[in-house]
Amino acid sequence: MERQRKYTHQCSGVCLLDLNYPEKSELEKQVVERKKDLRRFKMADKNFDGELDSDEFITFLHPEDTPHMMESVVMDTIEDLDTDKDGFISLSEYAGQQLISSV
């Protein structure tokens, strides 16, 4: 079950607006992004020396331009779209993301 944060707003003591919606904490978002960066760094480090030379760094910055980085690009995209984390992208997960992106 996903964590939910509860927001309550009192309007002049007359109305009560109560919004519940899932929200990742800023720390959780940073951990996810760091995990993606680390995975992409390791895949860009073609000679496995733990450092990125100029070509490897370009690959790290633009993984979509390098065939051996496609797995990283696809995994990042699936993780972004798969909001219920079941390993599949449903039509609503895909369509929802498209709507958000177009706004």
Pull the structure tokens for residue 21: 């919606």
**What φ, ψ does residue 64 adopt, rounded to 5°?**
-70, -15
Length of the chain equals 103
User: Which residue among 84, 92, 96, 98 contacts Ca ion (CB under 5 A)?
Assistant: 84
Q: Name residues whose C-beta falls within 8 Å of residue 11's C-beta, 6 or more positions apart in sequence.
A: 17
SS3 assignment, position 16: strand
Sole window of 2-10, 57-65, 71-79, 81-89 interacting with Ca ion (rule: CB under 5 A): 81-89
Query: Per rule CB under 5 A, is residue 64 in the interface with Ca ion?
Result: no
Q: Which residues between 20 and 59 bind Ca ion (CB under 5 A)?
A: 45, 47, 49, 51, 56
Interface ranges with Ca ion (CB under 5 A): 45, 47, 49, 51, 56, 82, 84, 86, 88
